[in-house]
Amino acid sequence: MKAVVIGESSGATIEKIMAVYPRHKLIVDKYVAKGEVIGIGPFSDMGNMAIFTTRKAAEEFVTEDPFILEGLVKSFVIRDWKDTMLPEG
């Protein structure tokens, strides 16, 4: 079972987002290197989503992500997700 973090934008300016982005990218890269993040990115309304290989990885990520810690993400939920495109295994 995978886990998805869905975040709601706080309405921060693009300037604020880009100022925090390098620190956010360091955390994302850490999870990518461990093979724990499958996909991540913004929605057109500046909300965001990240798909993790496990709920544990998603829960750890939200405790470290500067976008969340510094209020650029107003709120988020973690939802368990079954990827039906891939065989069970």
Residue 89 lies in a domain: no
Residue 59 lies in a domain: yes
Over the stretch 17-75, which tens digit does the pLDDT of each residue have?
999 999 999 999 999 999 999 999 999 988 999 999 999 999 999 999 999 999 999 99
- Measured between its terminal Cα atoms, the distance across the chain in Å is 10
Global pTM reads: 0.90
Q: Which domain holds residue 73?
A: 2-81
- In this predicted structure, what is the pLDDT of residue 84? 87
At position 60, the amino acid (one-letter code) is E
CB neighbourhood size of 2 (10 A): 17
Residue 27 lies in a domain: yes
Residue 76 lies in a domain: yes
- In this predicted structure, what is the pLDDT of residue 82? 92
In the chain, the number of structural domains is 1
Any idea what DSSP says for residue 13? Answer: -
CATH number assigned to the domain comprising residue 34: 3.30.70.1060
